[in-house]
């Protein structure tokens, strides 16, 4: 039986999503670091280089770099190659702009949230997750991680 943990999220651009988690412990610049055409990380210095973010939930400390990142994300949303959702510790208004514009222009968007840094220790890449809402707010539902001793 899989035990699920609900991690509290703070909505920046609200919405629900589900998908495999891609966790980065370092920031990613969408401008020059991500291909809107392929949905892949293209920054050769980033540990996620070559990974496809399409239909996955990207979790990272914060974005990096240019205000042009919002344009790259907007194009990825238009093409259907964007991540399903973006969760950062540090709120990135320039990245949120892309989701807001996409919602208005295309009727589709990438939900964005912030999360408390202490909660990130409970998140693992490749885990299936769901972002859901209830009367108390938004939550990231993930499988509970076993400790080094195998105990939940």
**Which residues participate in catalysis according to the annotation?**
66
Integer Cα distance of 11 and 29 in angstroms:
21
* 93-106 vs 69-79: helix crossing angle, rounded to 10: 30
Q: How far is CA 75 from CA 35, 36, 98, 106, 108, in A?
A: 10, 6, 9, 11, 12
Determine contact, residues 1/67, Cβ cutoff 8 Å: no
């Amino acid at each position: 039986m899989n035990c699920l943990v609900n991690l509290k999220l703070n909505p920046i651009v609200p919405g629900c999503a589900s998908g495999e988690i891609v966790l980065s412990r370092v920031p990613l610049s969408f401008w020059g670091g991500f291909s809107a055409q392929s949905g892949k990380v293209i920054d050769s210095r980033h540990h996620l280089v070559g990974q496809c973010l399409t239909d996955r939930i990207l979790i990272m400390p914060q974005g990096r770099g240019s205000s042009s990142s919002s344009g790259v994300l907007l194009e990825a949303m238009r093409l259907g190659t964007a991540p399903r959702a973006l969760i950062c510790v540090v709120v990135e208004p320039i990245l949120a702009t892309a989701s807001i514009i996409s919602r208005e222009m295309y009727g589709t968007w990438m939900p964005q949230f912030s999360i408390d840094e202490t909660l990130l220790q409970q998140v693992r890449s490749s885990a299936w997750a769901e972002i859901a809402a209830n009367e108390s707010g938004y939550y990231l539902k993930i499988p509970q991680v076993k400790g080094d001793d195998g105990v939940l």
